[in-house]
Amino acid sequence: MEQVTVLPVSECASLDPMNLHYLNAQYGTAVAENVICRTMEDLAVRLSEAEKGFRDQNDEAMRRHCRIVGATAEQLGMTTLVQVTQDALAKIGTRDQIALAAILARMIRLGQASISAVWDHQDDPF
């Protein structure tokens, strides 16, 4: 019998805090915090909807939600998530479902890690 090794998968989010500083400078601390919180909630929903689009084999829904995830990630300075979202968009519509599944799984892991990174950064002064 062969031994199967399970490798732990984790993602390190890269966050450009200048985007958060910019939002604070543009809107003020209270409004910026509100915008960031609502944006992160929307990001979590869009990640889930992109995954649902994959399960339902709905390329258009997947594409729409991945675009929104990418735009949101760019607004918040989630640089790695932006790149992975672009990778996902490039694979949607191809017949390589295994690669797309792997990219979407990475996008979701990075999305979760990026949301955590923003929450961790929330206590820092803007």
pTM for this model (two decimals): 0.84
Predicted local distance difference test score (pLDDT) of residue 15: 83
Neighbours of 78 (CB within 10 A): 29
Predicted local distance difference test score (pLDDT) of residue 126: 47
Is residue 13 within 8 Å of 80, Cβ to Cβ? yes
Predicted local distance difference test score (pLDDT) of residue 3: 84
Number of C-alpha atoms within 13 angstroms, CB side, residue 12? 1
Predicted local distance difference test score (pLDDT) of residue 64: 97
Predicted local distance difference test score (pLDDT) of residue 110: 94
Predicted local distance difference test score (pLDDT) of residue 73: 94
What are the structural domains of the chain? Answer: 17-121 (1.20.120)
Predicted local distance difference test score (pLDDT) of residue 124: 60
Predicted confidence pLDDT, tens digits, the chain (126 residues): 688 777 677 777 888 889 888 988 999 989 988 999 999 999 999 999 999 999 999 999 999 999 999 999 999 999 999 999 999 999 999 989 999 999 999 999 999 999 888 877 665 654
